[in-house]
Amino acid sequence: MGLPSAESAFAVGGQPGPTARFDSGVNPAGVILGIETSCDETAAALVAEGQQVLSSVVSSQVDLHARYGGVVPEVAGRAHVQRIVPVIEQAFKAAQRSADQVTAVAATTGPGLIGALLVGVSAAKALALVWDVPFVSVNHLEAHLHAAFLDEPDLELPAVVMLVSGGHTMLVLMQDRLHYRVIGATVDDAAGEAFDKVARFMGLGYPGGPVIDKLSSQGTRDAIDFPRAMLNDGWNFSFSGLKTAVINYLRRNPEASTEDVAASFQEAVADVLVTKARRAAEEHGAKGLCLAGGVAANSRLREMTREACAADGLAAYLPSRAMCTDNAAMVAAAGWWRLQADGPSPLSVGGDPSWGLPESRSCQLNAH
């Protein structure tokens, strides 16, 4: 089965057939196909007018990489090649939409693994050319900033966003959809990276975040007083020292409770993140705190964020766990807004593995 063409789209049954239109009350002119292949999830989604998710399909590669204890770029790239077409087909089938209802194709072009990025970028450009619609280059980090809006369309701004994942940890002051500034970032390991490294040392497998979260529910959060690096020092973060402290503790105490170590480590990470976020919200006059990124699915981080917002009179915006992890719905949403603001991206745009938040819309502040 091939990808849907402008003349031959998918019927509900998933087989190529005559173009089908569906009356859902949504303006089809605003439907964007989003594609995400920055790391180890192959994802496609159809989103209307930048906020209504018509479909979101994610094919995870966790099982492929678990044996290696982390993502292997070559393995990830090959898996994307195999999965990209079926995932896009599933997105059309789930949304009950046809190719001629899509008016733009958005894809993550960075940051991420270059081999993985190129699979999604190439697919998006090919489809945009075949369908004669705009191609939109989307920054993966900016896409995460839009994830919460898919669950909370009326999210009130300004808000401080804790963008926490395996590769990134930052505080972002979001003033409107495409106007934000980074006020703090990690100087070494990202929070998700620290979870993975600690879990690997403890023999808990990959990915580390979910298993540590699960074990923590059976442990005591204050059993071990792990350090809170840079807690009162500006807006930046450091988790490398915490990771080392956990490893050293386990070497000195090999009989220590796995559950207590997991709970105490998780508490230290969440404590630093939430403490700095609520302080930033107060200083910058934010109306709420928002979570984004894969680590935003962590149960303790979500609980502490709710508690902090309740105590400070702030709104708590916690995207569903499906919107926290990498997905294409957030890519399509960000792409819709980018298209309105900047127009189509040139087809000469390639993958950029180290692309930060777009400079035209962000202003990096020095930590103070």
Q: What pLDDT does residue 76 have? A: 84
Identical topology for domains 9-146+325-342 and 155-318: yes
Other residues' Cβ atoms within 10 Å of the Cβ of residue 303? 13
**Cis amide leading into 207 (omega within 30):** yes
Q: What pLDDT does residue 26 have? A: 34
pTM: 0.88
For domain 155-318, give the CATH number.
Answer: 3.30.420.40
User: Following DSSP, what letter does each residue of 243-273 receive, concatenated?
Assistant: HHHHHHHHHH-TTS-HHHHHHHHHHHHHHHH
Q: How far is CA 205 from CA 63, 157, 309, in A?
A: 11, 39, 33
State whether residue 226 is helix, strand or coil. coil
Query: Quick check: 46 and 29 in contact, CB under 8 A?
Result: no
Helix-then-strand count for the chain, H and E: 11, 12
Query: Quick check: 194 and 269 in contact, CB under 8 A?
Result: yes
The 288-292 sheet, strands edge to edge: 179-185, 169-176, 159-164, 288-292, 315-317
Q: What pLDDT does residue 253 have? A: 97
Q: For residue 157, with 0-12 CB atoms within 10 Å meaning exposed, 13-18 middle and 19 or more buried, which class applies?
A: middle
For domain 9-146+325-342, give the CATH number.
Answer: 3.30.420.40
What is the C-alpha separation between 27 and 81, in angstroms, rounded?
Answer: 32
Instruction: Tell me which residues of the chain have a pLDDT lower than 50.
Output: 1, 5-28, 360, 362-368
Tokens standing for residue 209: 């975040």
Q: What is the pLDDT of residues 268-310, one digit of tens each?
A: 999 999 999 999 999 999 999 999 999 999 999 999 999 999 9
The gap between the terminal CA atoms of the chain, to the nearest Å, is: 56
Of 118, 111, 114, 39, the closest CA to residue 76 belongs to: 39
Q: Where are the domains of the chain?
A: 9-146+325-342, 155-318
The packing angle between helices 258-284 and 240-252, to 10°, is 160
CA angle centred on 47, ends 41 and 53, rounded to 5°: 80
Helix (H) or strand (E) holding 219: none
Q: What pLDDT does residue 359 have? A: 54
Q: What pLDDT does residue 4 have? A: 52
Query: Quick check: 296 and 164 in contact, CB under 8 A?
Result: yes
Tokens standing for residue 252: 């000195």
